[in-house]
Amino acid sequence: MSLNVLFSQVAVGVAASGGGGEFEAPRVEEFFWPLVGGNSYWALTRPAIVLLLSVAVIGWFFVTVAGRLTVVPSKRQFVAETAYDFVRNTIARDIIGAKDFKPFLPLLLTVFTMILFNNVMGIFPFVQFPTMSRIAFPIVLTAIIYITYHAVAIKRKHGVGGYLKSLVPPGLPGWLKPIMFVLEFLTYFFIRPLTLALRLFGNMLAGHLMLLVFILGGEYLLLHGSNIGIQASGVLGLGFGVVMTFFELLVQFLQAFIFTLLSALYISDAVSEHH
Amino acid sequence: MTGNITYLGYGLAAIGPGIGVGLIFAAYINGVARQPEARGMLQTIAFTGMALTEALAILGLVFVFVFAG
């Protein structure tokens, strides 16, 4: 696996640095990969391909597993049940509550599996592109969550007026109420969607950029180093790149988990009767 | 190799949220160790707090790109 990472990233590096010369650190521009359509607005990009792949694979996986469920589970059914169980019990039921969690389960499971698959594609051999490192994809996912929790809250709290009134916790002195309202309004309408999208985006971009730095830097030190000491440090850099790849796997799972967890948390705020 | 001083600034700015997130999870682990049955409730509170604290670091990351360009 590490060898594949190496080859594809070195290819990027040689293309970026013009084949030797001075070392150029990886840049954000390297995350734009138009495959069809060039620099126009309708380019078919690499993350779009990865996203379509994820839809096909996840759809195929769950549909075929759900088609033939058995009492003694097959290996694939076991994997599907583990993922479902994790989202249902650890995330949805514990946070939204046993009474209300069922309608939101399909949304949460879809979001979780989709983000997890797309994140793991960041270190998967030959694909190696974290879809969520392009800001558009987290924004769309966040928009779905944003519309969901506001719509649920408006329905549960008897209209827009009731929803806005429920933002202020009860039992506050009168002069504190406007200040709290502004703070809570900003949190619910701006800070929450902003951080939800940017957390996923930032973690995926920074993580992949870090891998690029270690592997490109190691390659540069190894191939262009002037003496044996520098070349040895290049080997060290490449080795650390491999270690960081496994660390990325942990981060990728954690980000999928946190995104789903926070979505559930926001939905639970919307369905709860009190504040 | 050229760079931008804003990257260094972001590194410094990330210290605060880093300490904050550390404190939150230290308190969470303490709480679960003392009272394991409170895990579910504490988890929710811990992740809410982490989301708020981490927001500062994430806004910093965005400002790096905004002001670097």
Within-domain flag for A57: yes
| Minimum mean pLDDT range among A113-122, A255-264, B54-63 | B54-63
User: What predicted TM-score, i.e. pTM, was given to this entire model?
Assistant: 0.82
Contacts of B58 in chain A (CB under 8 A): 195, 198-199, 202
Q: Is B40 on the interface with A (CB under 8 A)?
A: yes
pLDDT of A230-272, one tens digit each?
888 889 989 999 999 998 998 899 889 989 999 998 999 888 8
The amino acid that residue B25 corresponds to is F
Within-domain flag for A56: yes
Chain A nearest-CA distance from B53, in A, is 10
Q: Is B44 on the interface with A (CB under 8 A)?
A: yes
Within-domain flag for A10: no
pLDDT of B5-48, one tens digit each?
777 888 888 899 999 999 999 999 999 999 998 887 888 788 87
Alpha-carbon torsion B33, B34, B35, B41, what sign? negative
Residue of B40, B44, B58 lying closest to A195 (CB–CB): B58
Angle between helices B5-13 and B15-34 (to 10 degrees): 30
Q: What is the per-residue pLDDT for B69?
A: 57
Within-domain flag for A86: yes
Q: A121: domain range?
A: 43-147+190-271
Residue of B1, B40, B59 lying closest to A25 (CB–CB): B1
Within-domain flag for A36: no
Domains held by chain A: number? 1
Within-domain flag for A21: no
Within-domain flag for A172: no
Within-domain flag for A118: yes
- Cβ of A22 and B51 within 8 Å? no
Residue of B40, B55, B58 lying closest to A94 (CB–CB): B40
**Tokens (6 digits) for B22:** 């550390």
